[in-house]
Chains A and B, each alone.
Chain A
Amino acid sequence: MKPLSVTKRRVYFFFFAIAFVLLIPVLILYSTGYRLDSALGLIRTGGLYISVPYSGVNVYINDEIVRQTGVFQKNVFVQNLKPDNYSVRVEKDELQVWTKQLEVFPKTVTEAYSFMLPQEILFSEIKEFVELATTTATTTMSQNIPPTRPQKNPLYVNAMELFVPATTTPIVTPLATTTEDIKIKRKLLVENQDGTLSVSWTGDLNSRPHYFCVDDNCKKEIIINTPSKVRTFDFFPGRDDLLIVALSDGVFVIEVDDRSSQNIQTVMLGKGLNFRFGNNDILYIKDGIRIFFTYL
């Protein structure tokens, strides 16, 4: 039996070489978003990337479900989209709905990071007073002494101290700077100017967050549109694109991304509410003299 003949080898070689030459432009065009339209013409498409915080969430584009997120694949990437405006909706039972109008550009992926707070956030109240005999965690007296009168709850006292206006100079850490009116997190500067929040990027322009730019047009500052003046604000734990704000009628979480109307989700409704974060990102909300807390 003879080795492969030179002729056969040449045929094979040219077959694969031609396949390579034919496939390479196809692959590159495909990878860069070119697709065939119904008239077999080339059109440039783009994509949407939606980051979703939970599994089991339905993601809709123009009211059509495109995917339900899974345990391992929570983010959704949809391509082959013609350049246009798309309505994105992210929803799951018992969670607040997130929607966004996003524009898709050719050869580009428009990113968005959704957030979904529970429709009803469970708060626990910290009582101002506790019965000494029944709250061992707060007692400083021996348990075999019967209670005689309610005692001020130290947890309440500690939580209340969070709401005392700061009188010292701002605490500066590499990640965050904090005063009542200015907060910085990962080079994002948020300023409260007479109840209106503005967000600007203080870092290298090449690494600014995606929502500062629409296609190649980037803005220096994003104004947070709230229905009433912002009394207090802070960054939402674990996210630098979300702010938690105290407005006249409650506490809310609002996104910085203003490519379409900013999503605002309710944390707690009520007049004159204020909030602070304690250790381990515990959210304390003050309603008059009452204090509530929850884990976000």
Chain B
Amino acid sequence: MNYHSTPYFSVGRASDLSGKDRFIYRMLEILPGALSWGTIIGTILASIFYPVGAAYFIIAFDLYWLMKNGYLAIHLRHNWKRIKHNLATDWKEKVSHLKYEHLLHLIILPYYKEDLSVVEESIQALLNTEYDKSKMAIVLASEEAAGEEAFEIGRIIHEKYAQRFGHFLVTKHPSGVPGEMPGKGSNISYAAEQARINILDSNNISYKDVIVSAFDVDTVAYPQYFLCLTWNFLNVPDPHKVSFQPVPFYNNNVWQAPALSRVVAASSTFWQMIQQERPEKLATFSSHSVSFKSLYEIGYWQKNMVSEDSRIFWNLFLARNGDYSVVPISYPVSMDANLAPKFFQTTKNIYKQHRRWSWGAENIPYILFGFLKNKMIPLRTKLRISFVQVEGFWSLATNPLLIFLLGWLPVVLGGASFNATILSYNLPFVTRNLMIISMLGLILTAIIFLSFLPPKPEKKKKLSKFYMGIQWILVPFTIVVFGAIPGLDAQTRLMFGKYLGFWVTPKHRSK
């Protein structure tokens, strides 16, 4: 029996299982939070009872952080060059040597209560892409729960733009379907099935010739995105054994968003850029592309969980017994950075968005449980991926805290005899200096960030670009407040079975 036919394949949480399986899955849900809290509490306890050991650990950890930053900075720099190269490449010319006319791009744009302008900008960007529009099918996926007004937006867009694409469909995902969680996963799965019936089947289009791009509604494709995607689709050995991952830029409203929002958003971009150079560690994230054939075989995206963007990769990975990967196309798509009418609301939204992303820790029990059940995946692959995933979420929730907050703990809690040691006096200096050297990497991030900035609007002050450079001093704050804390928040909720629902990031464009 194929793994995707087993009852474990679409598990969303422990309560979807029963008996021993449920217990094991529950334990695996506890694992990420237990590791993170174990590290933090362990550091505190060690600082009290064995401060010398804690100090050694902190120094070693700070050095590890510095080395890791150096190692990742090389990846970031290489990907920067690769993106610039790919943006400068004439993909039309490259694709012209290939047979690609049979391919159809199915672009699914799910939306909830976003403004007409947000949806329209994305459609307009699709129109501006250098790809034959007759080979593009647009599905605007609305939610019944969003009300008639939201569906009306779809109708308006349909009326205005449908004739300009090969196919255009507006779907309305019904609310309250048993077994579904309201959110992007259930919406785009419904939209994909509607597209299959109403576009693919009715036009006799082969599923293997359809490339699905599941975009967020604010996703603005760069002009040659679909050409680049097509070229990659046709140049991999088996396009049905891979997903395609662009680099998410958050440039749509970068000149309007506050510095905090820009730094947090661009940090996500940089992380994705680094991962693009480490494809074996890459899972799909946010806007991504995948063959319709693959999607159809496993029943599309999971409908009962939050992180459908990364889960679809793990679904396919387990379904294909580990013979599935991500192709990092190193070509950008642009989305919105968090922006609300008021700064405090923006801050709140950033936190909530990052908690939702960190909720990707829900994939850990899914992956590990799948590895226990699927005996066809090589053990080495299982071990490697388990380590990468667990370490990734552990790092997210603990490393910034260890680096920026807990480094002083042995000095504070270590007691008089530890405080009389030269180690106690040197600990703050050594950790501070290692941190300062690590922070030098921010110069590179500032340069890269500036290189991808869209042109400065005329009404913006002359110094605006300067602020875009110095904003990176906020990183020690942002990676704690919008990295570690939401990460720990999400893992703690998962640990205690307080499951998160899907939270739609509000999209706001300042006039």
Contact = CB atoms under 8 A, between A and B. Distances in A.
A79 B426 contact: yes
B14 interface: no
B330 interface: yes
Contact of A30 (B86, B417, B426): B426
Given A3-B82, A3-B277, A206 B415 contact: yes
Contacts, number: 88
A9 B278 contact: yes
A49 B426 CA distance: 12
Interface string A2-19: 011000010011001101
B430 A31 contact: yes
Among A16, A23, A111, max chain B CB count under 10 A is at: A16
B416 A24 contact: no
A30 B63 CA distance: 14
Interface in A7-50: 9, 12-13, 16-17, 19-20, 23-24, 27-28, 30-33, 45-47, 49
A96 B264 CA distance: 55
Contacts of B436: none
Interface in B250-307: 276-279
Contacts of B421: 32, 107-109
A13 B423 contact: no
A3 B330 contact: yes
A81 to B, nearest CB: 10
Interface in B445-482: none
A4 B73 CA distance: 12
A79 B422 CA distance: 8
Given A3-B330, A79-B426, A19 B277 contact: no
A152 interface: no
A207 interface: yes
B277 A32 contact: no
Given A16-B67, A31-B430, A79-B426, A1 B82 contact: yes
A77 interface: yes
Contacts of A290: none
Interface of A: 1, 3-4, 9, 12-13, 16-17, 19-20, 23-24, 27-28, 30-33, 45-47, 49, 77, 79, 107-109, 111, 206-208, 210
27 contacts: A1-B81, A3-B82, A4-B74, A4-B78, A4-B277, A9-B278, A12-B71, A16-B68, A16-B71, A19-B67, A20-B63, A24-B59, A27-B59, A27-B60, A28-B56, A31-B55, A31-B59, A31-B422, A31-B423, A32-B421, A33-B422, A79-B425, A108-B420, A108-B421, A111-B420, A207-B416, A210-B416
Interface of B: 55-56, 59-60, 63-64, 67-68, 70-71, 74-75, 78-79, 81-82, 85-86, 276-279, 328, 330, 415-417, 420-427, 430
